[in-house]
Structure 1
Amino acid sequence: MPVWDATNEAAQLIGGMFVEPGLVRCQLEVPKIRAWSHESPQLYRSLAVLRDPVGNVVHVHAAKVGFRSVEVANNELLINGEAVLLHGVNLHEHHPDLGRAVTAELTRQDLQMMKAHNLNAVRAAHYPHDEHLAELCDELGLYLVDEANVESHARQRSLCHDPRFSSSILERVQRMAQRDAHHACIIAWSLGNESGDGAIHEAAAAWLRRYDPTRPVQYEGPLMHDLFAEAPATDIVCPMYSSIDEIRSWAASSKDQRRPLILCEYSHAMGNSNGSLSDYWDAIESTHGLQGGFIWEWLDHGLRRTDSSGATLYGPDGSVSWGYGGDFGDQPTDNNFICDGLVSADRTAHPALDEVRHIGRPVRASWVLSGAGSSAAGSSAAGSKMLRVELRNARWFSGLEDLKTSWQLLADGEVIDSGTLVLPVMAPRKSLQVKLPIRPAVTSKLPLGTELHLNLIWTQAGRTPWATAGSEVGREQLSLTTTTHPQFVPRAQRRCVAIQASEDFGGSVQQIAEIDWKPTIFRALTDNDGLRQGWMRGLVGGLHRWVEVQGVDRCVWKPGVERVRHRGSDTLRTSSGELVAPGVDDAIKVIRKARVQADGWTQLSIEMGLPAALHDSLRVGVELLLPAEPSSAEHDGAWEQLQWVGNGPGENYSDRCSAATLGHWTSTVTDQYEDYALPQEHGHRQHLRWLSLTQALPTGRTGRRSRRGLLVVAEPHRVPGLSGLQWPGFSTRHHSDEELWAARHTSDLASGPGRSTYLYLDAAQRGLGTASCGPDTLSKYQLRAGRYQVSVWCRYFDPSSDDPQELVRSIRAAVEADR
Structure 2
Amino acid sequence: MKATQADINWLGDVSVFEVNRLNAYSDHRYYHTMEEAQASGTMKMRYDLNGTWKFNYAVRPDCRPELFYTADFSSEGWDDIEVPGHIQLQGYGQIQYVNTQYPWDGLNELRPPALPQDKNAVGSYIRTFHLPSGWQNSPVYISFQGVESAFYVWLNGQFVGYGEDSFTPSDFDLTPFLQDGENKLAVEVYQRSTGSWLEDQDFWRFSGIFRDVYLYTVPAAHIRDVRVVTDLDKSYTNGTLNLDLKLEGKASAGARVEAELRDAEGTTVKTFGSKVSDDLVNISEEIGKVHLWSAEIPYLYRLYIRVYNAAGELLEVVPQAVGFRKFEMIDKVMHINGKRIVFKGVNRHEFNPRRGRAITKEDMLWDVRTIKQNNMNAVRTSHYPNQSLWYELCDEYGLYVIDEMNLETHGSWQKLGAVEPSWVIPGDRPEWHDIVMDRAVSMVERDKNHPSILIWSCGNESHGGEVIYKVSQYFKSYDPTRLVHYEGVFHDRRFNETSDMESRMYAKPADIEEFLNADPEKPYISCEYMHAMGNSIGGMHKYTELEDKYPMYQGGFIWDYIDQSIYKKDRYGKEFLAYGGDFGDRPSDYSFCGNGIVHADRKVTAKMQEVKFLYQNIKLFPDREGVKIVNSNLFADTSALELVYSLEREGHEVLRGTLEVNVPAQSEKVVKLPLGTASLAGGEYAVNTAFVLKVATLWADKGDEVAYGQYIFTQDQVDSNAAAGDDPNLKNEIQVVEGDVNIGVRVGHTHVLFSKAFGTLVSLKLSGLETIAQPPAPLFWRATTDNDKGTAMGFELGAWYAASLLPRCVEWKAEQKPDQYRIEFTYKLNISSDVQVKVAYTVRADGSVHVHNAYRGTAGLPNLPIHALSFKTSPEFGNVEWLAMGPEENYADRAFGARLGIHGSKVADTVAPYLVPQESGNRTGVRWAKLTDDAGRGFKIEASAAPVELNVSPYTAFELENAQHAYELPPVHYTVVTVAGKQMGVGGDDSWGAPVHPEYRISSDGELEFEFVIRSL
Pairwise TM-score range, normalised by the shorter structure: 0.7 to 0.9
Q: Which residue, out of 134, 145, 148, partners 2:391?
A: 134
**SS where residue 772 of structure 1 aligns?**
coil
Provide closer, same or farther for how the CA distance between residues 440 and 66 of structure 1 changes in structure 2, counting only shifts above 3 A.
closer
Q: Write the letter of the residue equivalent to 1:151.
A: E
Structure 2 CA distance for aligned equivalents of residues 566 and 507 of structure 1: 21
Q: Which residue of 1 aligns with 2:207?
A: none
Q: Which residue of 1 aligns with 2:839?
A: 592
Provide closer, same or farther for how the CA distance between residues 602 and 43 of structure 1 changes in structure 2, counting only shifts above 3 A.
same
Aligned-pair distance for 1:694?
1.8
Q: Write the letter of the residue equivalent to 2:327.
A: V
In structure 1, runs of 5+ residues without a counterpart are 5-18, 314-320, 369-385, 482-487, 532-539, 629-637, 697-705, 717-725, 798-819
Could you state the TM-score of these two structures normalised by the residue count of structure 2?
A: 0.66
- Corresponding position: 1:523 with 2:779: no
Q: Write the letter of the residue equivalent to 2:807.
A: W
Q: Write the letter of the residue equivalent to 1:139.
A: E
Q: Which residue, out of 714, 720, 728, partners 2:943?
A: 714
Q: Which residue of 1 aligns with 2:795?
A: 544
Aligned-pair distance for 1:230?
7.1
Provide closer, same or farther for how the CA distance between residues 225 and 652 of structure 1 changes in structure 2, counting only shifts above 3 A.
farther
CA deviation string 1:212-266 (max 9, x = no partner): 110000100012488xx8710011111111111111121111132xx32111000
The sequence identity of aligned pairs, in percent, is 29
**SS where residue 574 of structure 1 aligns?**
strand
**SS where residue 438 of structure 2 aligns?**
helix
Contact 2:347 2:561 (C-alpha < 8 Å) held by counterparts: yes
- Corresponding position: 1:189 with 2:456: yes
Contact 1:325 1:334 (C-alpha < 8 Å) held by counterparts: yes
In the TM superposition, 1:434-513 aligns within 5 A as 434-443=671-680, 446-447=681-682, 450-480=683-713, 491-495=718-722, 497-499=728-730, 503=749, 509=768
Q: Which residue of 1 aligns with 2:641?
A: 403
Contact 1:97 1:304 (C-alpha < 8 Å) held by counterparts: yes
CA deviation string 1:543-570 (max 9, x = no partner): 33123x7655874221234333422343
Q: Which residue, out of 601, 604, 610, partners 2:857?
A: 610
CA deviation string 1:73-96 (max 9, x = no partner): 223211111112110100111111
Q: Which residue of 2 aligns with 1:722?
A: none
Contact 2:780 2:801 (C-alpha < 8 Å) held by counterparts: no
Structure 2 CA distance for aligned equivalents of residues 426 and 161 of structure 1: 53
Provide closer, same or farther for how the CA distance between residues 20 and 308 of structure 1 changes in structure 2, counting only shifts above 3 A.
farther
Contact 1:732 1:760 (C-alpha < 8 Å) held by counterparts: yes
Structure 1 CA distance for aligned equivalents of residues 961 and 664 of structure 2: 51
Q: Which residue, out of 524, 527, 547, partners 1:264?
A: 527
Aligned-pair distance for 1:50?
4.8
**SS where residue 161 of structure 1 aligns?**
coil
Aligned-pair distance for 1:48?
2.9
Give the aligned length.
Answer: 702
Q: Which residue, out of 360, 367, 370, partners 1:110?
A: 367
Structure 1 CA distance for aligned equivalents of residues 822 and 858 of structure 2: 28
Aligned-pair distance for 1:113?
0.5
Q: Write the letter of the residue equivalent to 2:692.
A: T
CA deviation string 1:369-401 (max 9, x = no partner): xxxxxxxxxxxxxxxxx8132212221111111
- Corresponding position: 1:654 with 2:900: no
Contact 2:825 2:839 (C-alpha < 8 Å) held by counterparts: yes
Contact 1:90 1:296 (C-alpha < 8 Å) held by counterparts: yes
**SS where residue 591 of structure 1 aligns?**
strand
Contact 1:644 1:692 (C-alpha < 8 Å) held by counterparts: yes
Structure 2 CA distance for aligned equivalents of residues 20 and 209 of structure 1: 30
Contact 1:622 1:760 (C-alpha < 8 Å) held by counterparts: yes
Could you state the TM-score of these two structures normalised by the residue count of structure 1?
A: 0.81
Q: Which residue, out of 600, 605, 608, partners 1:350?
A: 605
Structure 1 CA distance for aligned equivalents of residues 591 and 278 of structure 2: 50
Contact 1:298 1:342 (C-alpha < 8 Å) held by counterparts: yes
Aligned-pair distance for 1:364?
1.5
Structure 1 CA distance for aligned equivalents of residues 906 and 361 of structure 2: 37
Q: Which residue of 1 aligns with 2:666?
A: 429
Q: Which residue of 1 aligns with 2:653?
A: 415
Q: Which residue, out of 561, 565, 588, partners 1:302?
A: 565
Contact 1:654 1:765 (C-alpha < 8 Å) held by counterparts: yes
Contact 2:870 2:977 (C-alpha < 8 Å) held by counterparts: yes
Q: Which residue of 2 aligns with 1:336?
A: 591
Provide closer, same or farther for how the CA distance between residues 113 and 367 of structure 1 changes in structure 2, counting only shifts above 3 A.
closer
Structure 1 CA distance for aligned equivalents of residues 804 and 707 of structure 2: 43
Aligned-pair distance for 1:707?
5.3
Structure 2 CA distance for aligned equivalents of residues 255 and 91 of structure 1: 29
Q: Which residue, out of 497, 512, 528, partners 1:247?
A: 512
Contact 2:335 2:341 (C-alpha < 8 Å) held by counterparts: yes
Contact 1:410 1:452 (C-alpha < 8 Å) held by counterparts: yes
Contact 1:555 1:579 (C-alpha < 8 Å) held by counterparts: no
Q: Which residue of 1 aligns with 2:23?
A: none
Structure 1 CA distance for aligned equivalents of residues 814 and 536 of structure 2: 44
Q: Which residue of 1 aligns with 2:995?
A: 776
Contact 2:648 2:687 (C-alpha < 8 Å) held by counterparts: yes
**SS where residue 28 of structure 1 aligns?**
strand
Provide closer, same or farther for how the CA distance between residues 242 and 541 of structure 1 changes in structure 2, counting only shifts above 3 A.
farther
Structure 2 CA distance for aligned equivalents of residues 412 and 225 of structure 1: 57
In the TM superposition, 1:199-348 aligns within 5 A as 199-224=466-491, 231-256=496-521, 259-308=522-571, 311-313=573-575, 321-348=576-603
Q: Which residue of 2 aligns with 1:767?
A: 985
Alpha-carbon RMSD: 2.8
Aligned-pair distance for 1:542?
2.8
Q: Which residue of 2 aligns with 1:788?
A: 1008
Structure 1 CA distance for aligned equivalents of residues 491 and 593 of structure 2: 21
Q: Write the letter of the residue equivalent to 2:456.
A: W
Contact 1:605 1:791 (C-alpha < 8 Å) held by counterparts: yes
Q: Which residue of 1 aligns with 2:142?
A: none
Provide closer, same or farther for how the CA distance between residues 167 and 55 of structure 1 changes in structure 2, counting only shifts above 3 A.
farther
Structure ID, larger Rg: 2
CA deviation string 1:172-198 (max 9, x = no partner): 111111111110100000000000110
**SS where residue 515 of structure 2 aligns?**
helix
Aligned-pair distance for 1:57?
6.2
CA deviation string 1:448-468 (max 9, x = no partner): xx2222110221111111111
Contact 2:537 2:987 (C-alpha < 8 Å) held by counterparts: yes
In structure 2, runs of 5+ residues without a counterpart are 1-243, 248-275, 414-420, 732-746, 752-764
**SS where residue 144 of structure 1 aligns?**
strand
Q: Which residue of 1 aligns with 2:848?
A: 601
As a proportion of its length, which structure holds more helix?
1
CA deviation string 1:508-541 (max 9, x = no partner): 957779960111110110000015xxxxxxxx44
Aligned-pair distance for 1:657?
0.5
Provide closer, same or farther for how the CA distance between residues 627 and 366 of structure 1 changes in structure 2, counting only shifts above 3 A.
closer
As a proportion of its length, which structure holds more strand?
2
CA deviation string 1:461-516 (max 9, x = no partner): 111111111112221001336xxxxxx75545443532265537999957779960
**SS where residue 463 of structure 2 aligns?**
coil
CA deviation string 1:726-767 (max 9, x = no partner): 532111011111111111111222456xx3111111111111
Q: Which residue of 1 aligns with 2:112?
A: none
- Corresponding position: 1:756 with 2:977: no
Contact 1:170 1:204 (C-alpha < 8 Å) held by counterparts: yes
Structure 2 CA distance for aligned equivalents of residues 201 and 651 of structure 1: 43
Farther-moved stretch of structure 1 (641-650 vs 50-59): 50-59
Q: Which residue, out of 801, 806, 821, partners 1:556?
A: 806
In the TM superposition, 1:654-673 aligns within 5 A as 654-673=892-911
- Corresponding position: 1:86 with 2:337: no
